C-alpha cells in the first residue's frame, strides 16, 4: 500500500492538512495533487469541520513547487493535463464552503505559491519566501499563478514576479497583498490556529455566504455581484444562526452557532 503524501489531523473543529514530503521540500507531484483534492473534498463534506489549515511538513518549505523530476519527462499533452490537474485542486480550495488558511512555514514557490493563493487567507512566517520562478525552468505558472497573483497583487507585481522569477520575502509579500499576515516563525502555528479557531466558532452558514459572495463578485460585474449579495443576505434570515447571533447581541452574551 502506497504511503499517503499527506498528514491529516483534527483540532476540534479545525482540520489540519499537511503536505508530507519534506525530503522533496513538499513538491507537488500528481499523486499529491490527487490526495489533496480528496482531502479537501472530505473536509468540505464533513459537518464537524468548520475551518481548514493547510501547511507543509518540515522546517524548510510550505511547498517548494511542482515536482520538477516528474514534469521533466512530460509531453505537451501530458503537461496540459498536469496543469488541469493542479488547477482543479486550486479551484476546489478556492470554492470551499469553509475558510481555508495557508500556514506558510517556509518556501512557497511556483506551485506552492499557487496552492497558497487558492486558500482564502495566508499567514506567513517572517522567514518565508514566496515566488513564481517557473521562467527559470523555461516554463510559465500552470496552476493559476498568473491569474490569482494578478488579482491579489496587481499587474506590475505579477509581471515582476513571473518575468524575473526571483523570490521575495514575507514582508514584501504582505506589502503586495499576497499574504495577509506575517508573524515570527516561532509563533506561526499558534497564531494560525488562533485565527482558525476564531473562524471555526463563527456562524458556518454566514461564513459560507461571505465566501460565496466574494468568489462570485471577483468574477462578475458589480451589478451581478450586488444582486447575489442581496439574495444571500436574505437567505440568512431563514437560519437559526441569524436568530441566535442577533439574540445574543441583544442579550449581551456570546452566541452559540450550530450551522442551521
Q: What is the pLDDT of residue 90?
A: 97
The answer to whether domain 6-200 has CATH 3.90.226.10 is yes
Taking the C-alpha atoms of residue 62 and residue 108, their distance in angstroms, rounded to an integer, is 5
Q: What is the pLDDT of residue 250?
A: 93
* Chain region(s) in the chain for CATH 1.10.12.10: 204-251
The rounded average pLDDT for each run of 10 residues, N- to C-terminus, in the chain (260 residues) is 86 97 95 97 97 96 93 93 96 97 98 98 98 96 96 97 98 98 98 97 95 93 94 94 93 90
Predicted confidence (pLDDT) per residue in 191-240, tens digit: 999 999 999 999 999 999 999 999 999 999 999 999 999 999 999 999 99
How many CB atoms sit inside 10 A of residue 116's CB? Answer: 31
Residue position matching grid coordinates 461571505? 210
Q: What is the pLDDT of residue 260?
A: 86
Report the length, in residues, of the chain: 260
DSSP state letters, the chain? -PPPSEEEEEETTEEEEEE--GGGTT-B-HHHHHHHHHHHHHHHH-TT--EEEEEESSSSEEE--B-HHHHTT--HHHHHHHHHHHHHHHHHHHT-SS-EEEEE-SEEETHHHHHHHHSSEEEEETT-EEE--GGGGT----SSHHHHHHHHH-HHHHHHHHHH---EEHHHHHHTTS-SEEE-GGGHHHHHHHHHHHHHTS-HHHHHHHHHHHHHHTTS-HHHHHHHHHHHHHHHTTSHHHHHHHHHHHHTS-------
Taking the C-alpha atoms of residue 5 and residue 31, their distance in angstroms, rounded to an integer, is 8
* C-alpha dihedral (200, 103, 32, 84), degrees to nearest 10: 90
Catalytic residue among 3, 41, 70, 114: 114
User: 26 Cβ partners below 8 Å, 6+ apart?
Assistant: 19, 20, 56, 57, 58, 61, 62, 63, 64, 112
* Chain region(s) in the chain for CATH 3.90.226.10: 6-200
pTM passes above 0.75 = yes
The CATH number assigned to the domain with range 204-251 reads 1.10.12.10
* C-alpha dihedral (211, 146, 109, 27), degrees to nearest 10: 80
Catalytic residue among 70, 134, 227, 251: 134
Active site residue 114: yes
User: 125 Cβ partners below 8 Å, 6+ apart?
Assistant: 104, 105, 106, 170, 182, 183, 184, 185, 188
Q: What is the pLDDT of residue 2?
A: 62
Active site residue 134: yes
Amino acid at each position: 500500500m502506497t504511503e499517503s503524501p499527506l498528514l491529516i489531523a483534527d483540532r476540534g473543529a479545525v482540520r489540519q492538512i499537511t503536505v508530507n514530503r519534506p525530503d522533496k521540500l513538499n513538491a507537488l507531484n500528481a499523486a499529491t495533487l490527487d490526495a489533496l483534492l480528496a482531502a479537501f473534498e472530505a473536509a468540505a463534506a464533513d459537518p464537524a469541520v468548520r475551518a481548514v489549515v493547510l501547511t507543509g511538513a518540515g522546517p524548510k518549505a510550505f511547498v517548494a513547487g511542482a515536482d520538477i523530476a516528474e514534469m521533466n519527462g512530460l509531453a505537451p499533452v501530458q503537461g496540459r493535463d498536469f496543469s488541469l490537474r493542479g488547477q482543479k485542486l486550486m479551484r476546489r480550495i478556492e470554492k470551499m464552503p469553509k475558510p481555508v488558511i495557508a500556514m506558510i512555514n517556509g518556501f512557497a514557490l511556483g506551485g506552492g505559491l499557487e496552492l497558497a493563493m487558492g486558500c482564502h487567507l495566508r499567514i506567513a512566517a517572517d522567514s518565508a519566501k514566496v515566488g513564481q520562478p517557473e521562467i527559470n525552468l523555461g516554463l510559465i505558472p500552470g496552476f493559476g499563478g498568473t491569474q490569482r497573483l494578478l488579482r491579489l497583487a496587481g499587474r506590475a507585481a505579477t509581471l515582476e514576479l513571473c518575468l524575473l522569477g526571483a523570490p521575495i520575502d514575507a514582508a514584501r509579500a504582505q506589502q503586495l497583498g499576497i499574504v495577509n499576515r506575517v508573524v515570527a516563525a516561532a509563533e506561526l502555528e499558534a497564531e494560525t490556529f488562533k485565527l482558525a479557531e476564531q473562524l471555526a466558532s463563527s456562524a458556518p452558514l454566514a461564513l459560507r455566504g461571505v465566501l460565496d459572495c466574494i468568489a462570485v463578485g471577483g468574477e462578475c460585474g458589480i451589478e451581478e455581484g450586488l444582486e447575489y449579495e442581496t439574495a444571500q443576505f436574505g437567505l440568512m434570515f431563514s437560519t437559526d444562526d441569524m436568530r441566535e447571533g442577533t439574540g445574543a447581541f441583544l442579550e449581551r452574551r456570546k452566541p452559540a452557532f450550530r450551522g442551521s
